[in-house]
Structure 1
Amino acid sequence: MFNRSVRNLVFGQTLSNLADVMATITIVTLMYHISDSVTYTALVPLVRMISQSISGLISPLLLDRYPLTFLLKGSQFLQFILFCIIGWYAWQSLSPETLWVMLLLIMVWAFLDGWTSPATSALIPRLLDNSEHVMKANGVFGTANQIVQLAGWAGGAIVFNWLGGTYTLLSIAMMYFFAFLMTSMVHEPKRKSEKKSASDVESKEAPKAGAWQRLREGWLIIWSRPALRSLAIMDFLEGLAGSVWAGAFLLAYVKTILHRDETWWGYINVSYFIGAIVGGLCIVAISSWLNRNRFGAMMLGMIGYGVLTLIFGYMTSAWIALALALFMGPLVEMRTVAVTTIRQLSVEEELLPKVLAAMSTLNTFIFGISVVVLGVLSDLFGIAAIYVICGLLSLVATGIGYLYRQSFKELQPQQTTSINRSL
């Protein structure tokens, strides 16, 4: 179904994503055990968010200069070296007085991970020859990621307790190394903009864009195209809505609304992941139909998720809540794959990495802010209310998509020269 480069990319990034999940579990657990402080441990996701946002903001400079495969390999190899250092440090020097050094290492880790997602997503359409294959590849990536999330979060703590912190960190380093080896076997096709033609002479004579222009290029492209701009607004609203599934909120919902213990927190998470995996497999199976109906698939996923989240907020039956989480999985996967494919096929390949980097940075920032906002709202109105609010936000995002439906139908790659002139 896919060529060798796509298969290697899938395996490499799946292994890298598993290493990310295992690393998060291990580092958070180590920080909590050493500091015995929830506040100090909470700095881990905060530091990661800030560092990834900075990495995403400056990534256009790298994406402009280096091949995408080079950036992926560089990130994975440097993360291999970094986790060897973190493993040694955890074994030799980690103590309550030196936790700040661990936070600095976490910052470096997050920075190296900041451009991998946009680079991977931008690489997929370059490796495939038609839009149906791109849709199918996105479904495969989504399914593999959900399997990794399920396996990683379910087994991460078990592995940590079995191997201990140091050996777990070294195992994570080896995962990054093998991911690097797999990515090294991905052969990126020569970009169209790099092929020899008569226009190359003119492009060499044209003044090269400055660093500031290259940094803001992706944002300007998003703002200048109505469909991409509406997708950004919809992502903003859905980013706020999606944060309601962060661990603290769901645990509070299980305890205060469903009146169940922490075990049901795990059950609901597992139920969602199973639904997402099944949904991803279905997307791969019907990718031809979905590719012809990308906008409809996106809208169906969004409205279904919004309605189920609204019902979830009013639900007091644990078993029905479990079923709702199961059905949310396929809907979220459908929406995610449809949106990803729309972006990949509507922006020129040389500009796509910058657009995806801008969106990744925006989503990272939104998640960090929304967790704080929803925390305040849950204290003011109760935990059930924020699920209702987030369901409504998702439905508002659906309404924006409907208002811009014509721009989605007309969405086609524009000429690069017109964008460059606007800069």
Structure 2
Amino acid sequence: MRNLSLIYYLGSKICITLADIVYVMIITTHIYIATKSATITALFPLLQVITNLIANISAPLMINRFPSYTLLYTLQWLKTVFLLLLMILFPVLSTNIIALLTFIFVISLCSGWSAPLLYGILPRLTPKEKLVKVNSIFSFSTQIVQAVAYSFTSIVVLLIGATSTLMINNILMIFGCIALHFSLRSIHTERIADSPSSKSTVLLEGWKLLFQNPSLRTVTYMDLIETFAGTIWIGAITMAYVTTILHKGEEWWGYINTSYYVGTLIGGLLAWKMSSYIQNNLIRSMSIGSLIFSILTFLYGMTSSGFIALFLCVLMGPCYQIRDISQTTVLQSSVAPSLLSKMYTAHGALLSTASGLSMLIIGIITDMFGVRTIYIIASILILCSACLSFSLLKYHKTEQNDISI
């Protein structure tokens, strides 16, 4: 039954991921075409970051009040309804950016509230000893979906138009909700007991989980560091690297993205093949992955050869995947499955804030010191993250963490 539920959940995740990417690309393209303004277009991702932060901060109040999976299912259908309304009203909304951004805010809020609940499903459907294998399968599948969606959505929009593409988006969301329903049937929903806890106590519960547990605290610090370092892959920085360091045309931006995706796909397969080793050596896998990723990032920033840069991008993929899957598994293994959603709300709020700040800081540093400096700084940050991961070794024998080294 659990295997069937996992298959349904994988189908749901693929449909929802596809729908999210299609939606983002349609809205981004439309806003830019309608306004011819990069600044106004940038309001879309900025609004999503702000909304995710609001959702992650407020989510514990909802999780504490309603059964988790009833809430998740309801939020996904609400998101689908608003996407349907967006499709129906798109001819009107397309001429009114404020009204369009209002719809985006509501849809992003539903997504933000759903995210920590979705993260909590996989550990409930998977035995702890199989988490790495299942995480690698889900990661590999998601990477393929993202590569296909980013490659072909713009072509589909050009061929059939934004409104028709939104219809495909809604069909994907409906299938995703149906598959989600079947995947949740095997999970016993916890009863929500009347709690005398104050709102502040409820809001702080996830933060206490995050920072009182040594493993979670260390992995969170690592995630924060890597979020800042990961900003080097945003479009503006990559474009600056291509033109000023590699001295290539804009098409090389696409080549670099493709190379990195190829590497992550290889990494997903490698992690799946090595799942038993990684499961039994989580901390070492995380540390080695971060260490090699740091070295490759430094070499990537220092090279002026386009082909070497592409090769390094392919090599980065497996290192990133092994490190990321290990870190995800540590997070999933460090608290009881029933508490994962609350933990992920605090985790998501931190990373949303870090992501927004890092985009601003990275842009300023790039303008002041050049793009090569950014890659050197990023490699040092990732090295610091690798060093932090070694500190987890001292917790491996404690019963509260139950993490393999």
Where on the TM-score scale, by shorter chain, does this alignment land: which range?
over 0.9
Q: 1:404 to 1:182 in 2, by over 3 A?
A: closer
107, 110, 120: which one pairs with 1:109?
107
Per the TM alignment, residue 82 of structure 1 is displaced from its structure 2 partner at its CA by: 1.2
Q: Does 1:120 align with 2:118?
A: yes
- Which one of 279, 298, 313 corresponds to residue 286 of structure 2? 298
Contact 1:53–1:364 (Cα < 8 Å) also in 2: yes
Distance 2:299 2:347 in 1: 29
Aligned equivalent of 2:90: 90
| Residue of structure 2 aligned with 1:179, choices 176, 179, 182 | 176
2:212 to 224, 228, 236: 224
Task: Indicate the residue corresponding to 1:39 in structure 2.
Answer: 39
Structure 1 counterpart of 2:62: 62
| Displacement after TM superposition at 1:109 (Å) | 1.3
Deviates more, 1:279-288 or 1:257-266: 279-288
Amino acid at match of 1:336: D
SS at match of 2:292: helix
Q: 1:68 to 1:4 in 2, by over 3 A?
A: farther
Deviation at 1:412, TM superposition (A): 2.5
Give the distance between the partners of 2:131 and 2:87, measured in 1 at CA.
Answer: 38
Name the residue aligned to 1:81.
81
User: Cα–Cα, structure 1 residues 413 and 65, in superposed 2: closer, same or farther, change >3 Å?
Assistant: farther
Counterpart of 2:225, as a letter, is L
Q: Identify the residue that residue 325 of structure 1 maps to in structure 2.
A: 313
SS in structure 2 opposite 1:109? helix
Q: Matched residues in 2 for 1:133 and 1:328: separation?
A: 25
C-alpha deviations, 1:336-386, integer Å up to 9, x for none? Answer: 111111111110122221111211221122111101100000001001110
Question: Structure 1 residues 307, 408: closer, same or farther in 2, change over 3 A?
Answer: farther
Give the Cα separation in 1 of the matches to 2:50 and 2:195.
33
Residue correspondence of structure 1 range 178-217 to structure 2 within 5 A? 178-186=175-183, 187-190=185-188, 208-217=196-205
How far residue 229 of structure 1 moved from its aligned partner, in angstroms, is 1.1
For the pair 1:345 / 2:296, whether they are aligned, the reply is: no
Match in the other structure for 2:384 = 396
Residues 3/404 of structure 1: CA separation in 2 closer, same or farther (3 Å cut): closer
Note the 1:148-163 alignment, pairs <5 A.
148-163=145-160
The question of whether the paired residues in 1 share the 8 Å contact of 2:283 and 2:392 is answered with no
Partner of 1:190, secondary structure, is: coil
Distance 1:69 1:350 in 2: 11
Q: Deviations over 1:124-164 (max 9, x none)?
A: 11112x22322211111111111121111111111111111
Paired residue for 1:144, among 121, 141, 146?
A: 141
Q: TM-score, normalised by structure 1?
A: 0.90
Unaligned runs of 5+ in 1: 195-202, 415-423
Q: What percentage of aligned pairs have identical amino acids?
A: 31
Unaligned stretches of 5+ residues in structure 2:
none
Shift of 1:405: 2.6
Q: 1:136 to 1:284 in 2, by over 3 A?
A: same
> What is the deviation of 1:5?
0.8
Equivalent of 1:240 in 218, 224, 228: 228
Counterpart amino acid of 2:162? G
Give 1:255 deviation, angstroms: 1.1
| Aligned counterparts of 1:220 and 1:373: Cα–Cα separation in 2 | 28
CA drift of 1:207 comes to 5.4
User: After TM superposition, which residue ranges in structure 1, 4 or more long, deviate above 4 angstroms?
Assistant: none
Aligned to 2:48: 48
User: 1:22 touches 1:156 (CA, 8 Å); kept in 2?
Assistant: yes
Per-residue CA deviation, residues 290-323 of structure 1 (Å, 9 max, x unaligned), is: 1100111111111111111111110100001001
Secondary structure (helix, strand or coil) at the match of 1:236 reads helix
Q: How far does residue 68 in structure 1 lie from its aligned partner after superposition?
A: 3.7
Q: Is the 8 A contact 2:52 2:109 kept in 1?
A: yes
- Equivalent residue pairs, number: 401
- Per-residue deviation, residues 1-31 of structure 1 (Å, max 9, x unmatched): 9611111011101110111111111100000
Contact map agreement 1:80 1:174 (CA 8 A) in 2: no
